[in-house]
DNA sequence: TATGTTTACGAACGGTCGGTCTTATTGTAC
DNA sequence: GTACAATAAGACCGACCGTTCGTAAACATA
């Protein structure tokens, strides 16, 4: 970074590469990610990428970190504006659905895809993904505990009860899309599925409405 | 097939290849499947595979068909031995969990993995996967409708209600495994998760017990 | 036994992969 | 201006990819 605060050239291309790599990885998979394709899509040389990351694995880890930063910025941070308790839990649900609806990532949920891809492939990547998922589950569990402590959520489903349910909803949102896509367009199908999920989530036997 | 009913040489290797390819594809992904690895694992030549399938894509489609046949044989057919209604619905749940517990496929659920892999990749493979998932959902919906008609299951959650819930359980079983694996062993973690899912499924607000 | 098909092999193809060089340009600091 | 590090490009490497080819057994049929 220069003294006046503007991004220097290297930092600009670095974030551009991470943005592009995140999109490509969400579609082709984190392992199917091709350095050549990333470089070509940005109009830079492939060897230039190795000036920023010394290996493909290093770039993959950076992509995961980038995805988490985006997740925090677009889902967690806006939701934390809601008051504590059940309303904050619902805010997380809403910001997440809004993020999917915005289709920032054409391949759906990066983390869900990555987890299924590396589920049976031990190594640095899977370890890192496991940390991300653990943190996310802990975050949801904490919110749920908050809601229980405030008397806004019936206890007894812990540990991981509400969080688990919430997690599965988003996961399946991606899961179901191709099926419905045979009848309507792919984009509209995903939206319809999300509406269905929202309706399912409002079932008071699963998650009570905020009062 | 010869006149006395024994498998001829070609058929034997064909099924052996499909068995091996299914295992490898469940771990490395249907796209990450390598013909060289399949051939090496079986001690046959890579070029010999092209005597059975004219392209990698043809083999991938055959693997999907093979996975469906295995699914039908090990999950659907045993479950159909149960009497119609809620008990048959529960039988499907049990045979499915048993199949996962047996760890026939080291990578977890082949279809769940494949769906996430090809979610954003239109083409012949995704179209075929969509058909498989549609058939599976239709099957579950039919079983649920049966149970409703027999008065063993409360109506109102259709379409896709119970089926959707059941589907999400199995999907998430694979999803969560790496996380818990940090505390206990990977294999024991998956089993523990399955037990948790079973307990969750017995919640009468989600799916009532068979009477 | 003779014939044609199926099945399998080894060698090789063009292409892409991740990765490593050398070289040139850019921007900063002195 | 000079020195220096960061950044980028281009040529190139060995490895692996899916695929094709020619060839040769194995097999069914006659």
Note whether B112 contacts A175, CB cutoff 8 Å: yes
Across all strands, nucleotide nearest B47 (CA–C1') = C9
The Cα–Cα gap between A27 and B116 comes to 10
Size of interface A-B (CB pairs under 8 A): 114
Domains and CATH numbers, chain A: 64-201 (1.10.357.10)
Dist. CA A199–CA A191, nearest whole Å: 12
Q: How far is B205 from chain A (nearest CA, A)?
A: 6
Percent of chain B with pLDDT over 70: 68
> Which position has the higher pLDDT, B146 or A17?
A17
Chain A contact set for B179 (CB, 8 A): 130, 133-134, 137
Residue B112 has its nearest CB partner, among A28, A116, A164, at A116
**Given CA atoms B132, B133, B138, B143 in this order, what sign does their dihedral have?**
positive
Question: Which pLDDT score is estimated for A155?
Answer: 59
pLDDT at A131: 85
pLDDT at res. A38: 95
Which residue would you say has higher pLDDT here, B207 or A78?
A: A78
Q: pLDDT, tens digit, for every residue of B106-153?
A: 887 888 888 888 888 889 998 898 888 778 777 877 887 887 788 776
Report CA-CA distances (Å) from A178 to A174, B134, B137, B148.
8, 9, 13, 28
pLDDT score of B146: 85
- Mean pLDDT across the stretch A36-47? 93
Q: Residue A62 CA to D7 C1' — how many Å?
A: 19
Q: Could you tell me the two tokens for B142?
A: 């039919």
Range picked from A145-159, B38-52, B141-155 for highest mean pLDDT: B38-52
Q: Which nucleotide is nearest to A48 (CA to C1')?
A: D8
Give the CA angle between residues A92, A96, A97 to the nearest 5°: 120
Return d(Cα B106, Cα B22) in angstroms, integer: 10
Looking at residue A161, its pLDDT comes to 37
Lowest-confidence range among A1-15, B41-55, B96-110? A1-15
Q: With a cut of 50, say whether residue B192 has pLDDT above it.
A: no
Structure-model confidence comparison of residues B163 and B111, the more confident one: B111
If one compares A50 and B202, the residue with the highest pLDDT of the two is A50
Mean pLDDT of B39-55: 94
| Closest residue in B to A138 (Cα–Cα) | B179
Structure tokens at A162: 């509400």
The distance (Å) linking the CA of A96 with the C1' of D19 is: 44
**Mean pLDDT, rounded, for A165-194:** 39
State the DSSP string of chain A: --TTSPPPHHHHHHHHHHHHHHHHHHHH-TTT--HHHHHHHHT--HHHHTTT-SSHHHHHHHHHHHHHHHHIIIIIHHHTTSPTTHHHHHHHHHHHHHHHHHTSSTTS-HHHHHHHHTTT--SHHHHHHHHHHHHHHHHHHHHHHHHHHTTSS-SSS-SSHHHHHHHHHHHHHHHHHHHHTTTS-HHHHHHHHHHHHHHHHT-TTTSPPP-
> What pLDDT is recorded for position A71?
94
- ipTM rounded to 2 decimals: 0.81
Of A52-66, B7-21, B42-56, the one with minimum mean pLDDT is B7-21
Buried b (16+ CB within 10 A) or exposed e, B21-58: bbbbbbbbbbbbbebeebbeebeeeeeebeeebeebee
Query: What is the structure's pLDDT at B25?
Result: 96
The least confident of A49-58, A118-127, B90-99 is B90-99
- Chain B residues touching residue A133 (CB < 8 angstroms): 176, 178-179
**Strand C: positions under 7 A of a protein C-beta atom:** 6-12, 16-22, 26-29
Q: What is the pLDDT of residue A87?
A: 81
Is the separation of the CB atoms in B31 and A32 below 8 Å?
yes
Asked if B175 lies within 8 A of A26 by C-beta distance, the reply is: no
Q: What percent of chain B has pLDDT over 90?
A: 35
In angstroms, the CA of A11 and the C1' of C19 are apart by 22
How far, in Å, CA of B151 to CA of B149, rounded?
A: 5
Confidence of residue B155 (pLDDT cuts 50, 70, 90): low
Average pLDDT over all residues of chain A: 73
Report the residue from A121, A171, A206 with minimal CB separation from B172: A171
SS3 of B121, please? coil
Backbone angles phi, psi at A158, to 5 degrees: -75, 165
Nearest residue on chain B to A30, judged by CA atoms? Answer: B117
Q: Is the pLDDT of residue B18 over 50?
A: yes
Q: Is the predicted pLDDT of residue B6 greater than 50, yes or no?
A: no
Of B57 and B119, more confident:
B57
């Amino acid at each position: 970074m220069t003294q006046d605060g503007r991004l220097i050239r290297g930092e600009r291309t670095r974030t551009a590469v991470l943005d592009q790599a995140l999109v490509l990885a969400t579609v082709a998979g984190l392992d199917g990610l091709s350095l050549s394709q990333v470089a070509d899509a940005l109009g830079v040389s492939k060897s230039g990428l190795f000036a920023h990351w010394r290996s493909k694995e290093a770039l993959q880890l950076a992509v995961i970190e980038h995805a988490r930063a985006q997740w925090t910025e677009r889902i967690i941070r806006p939701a934390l504006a809601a008051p504590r308790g059940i309303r904050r839990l619902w805010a997380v649900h809403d910001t997440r659905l809004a993020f999917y609806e915005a289709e920032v990532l054409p391949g759906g949920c990066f983390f869900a895809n990555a987890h299924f891809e590396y589920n049976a492939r031990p190594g640095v990547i899977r370890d890192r993904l496991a940390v991300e998922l653990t943190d996310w589950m802990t975050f949801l569990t904490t919110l749920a505990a908050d809601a229980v402590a405030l008397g806004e959520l019936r206890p007894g489903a812990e540990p991981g009860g509400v969080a688990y349910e919430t997690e599965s909803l988003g996961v399946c949102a991606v899961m179901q899309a191709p099926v419905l896509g045979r009848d309507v367009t792919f984009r509209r199908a995903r939206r319809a599925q999300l509406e269905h999920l929202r309706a399912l989530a409002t079932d008071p036997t699963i998650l009570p409405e905020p009062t």
